[in-house]
Copies of this chain bind each other. A is one copy, B any other.
Amino acid sequence: MPPASSTHQPDEKRLSDDLRSAVSTVLEDFLHDQSAVLREVSVDCAPVLDAIAALLAGGKRLRPAFCYWGFHGTADGLSDEGVVTAAAALELFQAAALIHDDVMDDSDTRRGQPAVHRRFEALHRDSGWDGSSARFGLAGAVLAGDLCLSWSDELFSRSRLPADAMARGRQVFNTMRTQLMGGQYLDMLEQASSTQRGAAGAVDRARRVLTFKSAKYSIEHPLLLGGSLAGASTDLLADYSRFGLALGEAFQLRDDVLGVFGDPAETGKPAGDDLREGKRTVLVGLAVQSATPAQAAELERLLGAPDLDAAGVQTLRTILTETGALAGVEELIVQQVDVACATLDAAELTTTARAALHELVVAATSRRS
């Protein structure tokens, strides 16, 4: 890939496409190496690798993009081969998180394909093997996620950046992993205990989950990883945090809206899945806090009902709209995008990175999938 900054202004669109394909190449080469390691165990391990490769192929490479531009915000002219490897490692980590998340939520689909545990379930059923197909599916997905988790670290270590850069990067990588998992635990805890904890703090609690499960993980940490690898100044890293947390919140709020109101053909997830799972999003929190008693009763009855049907989904959509929750979330998105853009404009970083990050703001918050 060309260095991010040169005498004439490069085209960010072309650079984004180049980055996506560079990340995909790194991932394909890495999986190729791992297939040899697994083949030593047995050729029968092939389905595990196939499942991981299929999932990885569908990624939007959002986190790698933030890592890459976090690096190029300051590393004017530095070679970026190493950072592309580190960025690709984030995709493997994301794959691990998605595979295990789908196991935990018992979801059917991911990125428009069957979830990994459903793939193994189908393999078991179609092969006519002994025992429970569901249990085989679960076990296969737990192992596939564990492999991705180990591999993300192995790929990160291959980045071949100077030792001090790697040590700084590893620190961000470590915090990211632990806090994502903490955030996921908080999320499941909130889903389980929100009735008990009551409506009063619902929005605050949902925003806390969002911060750790999504904003830090999807945007702030990838940016900080790139910046740390490049040796960015404390000031720039602080700007990355401010920008990343604001945009990360907007990004997740958009995700929450899409999860309820999005078109399944575009999101790749069935309509109402988030509602059926009983996800305690900010959107839901706002509705809970301004619901009439009748609306509150409906929310409690329908949210998280495993057999929620299309009519139930429509009722919840109406409540989320009529309570003003949807409008409230859209307003929050605008506010956070404003903070992100203002931070970006004031930060001292390369022109190319600023332009690329502005494009990513649009991509992360105006998307329909």
Q: Which residue of B lies closest to A37 (CB)?
A: B178
A170, chain B: closest CB distance, angstroms: 6
Q: Nearest CB to that of A170 among chain B residues?
A: B157
Copies of this chain, how many? 2
A177 CB within 8 Å of chain B: yes
Enumerate chain B residues within 8 angstroms of A193, measured Cβ to Cβ. Answer: 127, 129-130
- What is the total number of residues of chain A having a CB less than 8 Å from a CB of chain B? 61
Q: Which of A16-24, A148-156, A328-336 contacts B (4 or more CB under 8 A)?
A: A148-156
* Chain B residues whose CB sits within 8 angstroms of the CB of A208 once the complex forms: 42
Interface residues of A in 64-112 (CB under 8 A from B): 96, 100, 103-104, 106
A25 to B340, CA, bound (A): 44
Nearest chain B residue, comparing its CB with the CB of A103: B142
- Contacts A150-B149, A208-B42 given; indicate if A142 touches B104 (C-beta within 8 A): yes
Report the stretch among A131-139, A252-260, A265-273, A348-356 that lies at the interface: A131-139
Residues of chain B within 8 A of A147, CB atoms compared: 178, 181
Q: Which of A182-190, A243-251, A281-289 contacts B (4 or more CB under 8 A)?
A: A182-190
Chain B residues within an 8 Å CB radius of A104: 135, 138-139, 142-143
Question: Is B146 touching A192 in the complex (CB atoms < 8 A)?
Answer: no
Interface status of A264 (Cβ within 8 A of chain B): no
Question: Do the beta carbons of B139 and A188 come within 8 Å of each other?
Answer: yes
Can you give 21 A-B contacts (C-beta < 8 A)? A41-B179, A41-B185, A42-B182, A104-B139, A104-B143, A106-B135, A124-B192, A127-B192, A130-B192, A130-B193, A130-B194, A130-B196, A131-B191, A131-B192, A131-B278, A131-B304, A142-B145, A143-B188, A150-B178, A154-B177, A157-B170
